[in-house]
Structure 1
Amino acid sequence: MIMPPFDKEFFGAERLSLDAGNLFELIEKLDAQGPGFAKIARARVHLAVDGVLETDWTRPLADVREVIVLPRVGGG
C-alpha cells in the first residue's frame, strides 16, 4: 500500500503488486513505476513490513504479505 502523498505524487495508485528480494530492490522497482521516487526515498519514506516499521532495507521479503510506503513524520 502506498500512502499519500506518494500515491498521487509518483504512482497514481495506492496499491501496486511488485516482487522484490529486499527493500532496496523494492525501491528500485517503485522508481521504475514512478521515476524520481528512489531519489527522495531515504529522506522522505518509512517502510512498514507486515505492520512493523523496518529500517534495514536489506531485509528479505520472501515471506512478506505487505509493505506499506509511509511518509516520514518530523517533529518532537
Structure 2
Amino acid sequence: ALAAAAYARVELVEKRGEFAVRGGILDVFPPTEEHPLRVEFWGDDVEEIRYFKVADQRSLEVAEHGLWAPPCRELL
C-alpha cells in the first residue's frame, strides 16, 4: 500500500516519502510530518507508534494520533 502511494522502500529511512521494514518494525516518513514514525508490531497487532530522529534513528515520543500516511505525490 505504501509503494502504491509513491513511497520508496529503502534500508534506512532518511527523508520524506521513504519506508523501511525490518522484522516487526515499520519505519515511514510521511510528507506531512516533521519526524518519521516507527510502528512496532507484535504479530498482527500494533504495539506502539513513536516518532524517531533521522540522525541517530532513536525513538522519540509516542505518536498519540497514530499513523496517517498520505500519498507522496498525486497523478493527474
TM > 0.5: no
Higher strand share: 2
- TM-score, with length taken from structure 2: 0.28
Q: Tell me: higher relative CO, structure 1 or 2? Use CA pairs within 8 A at least 6 residues apart.
A: 1
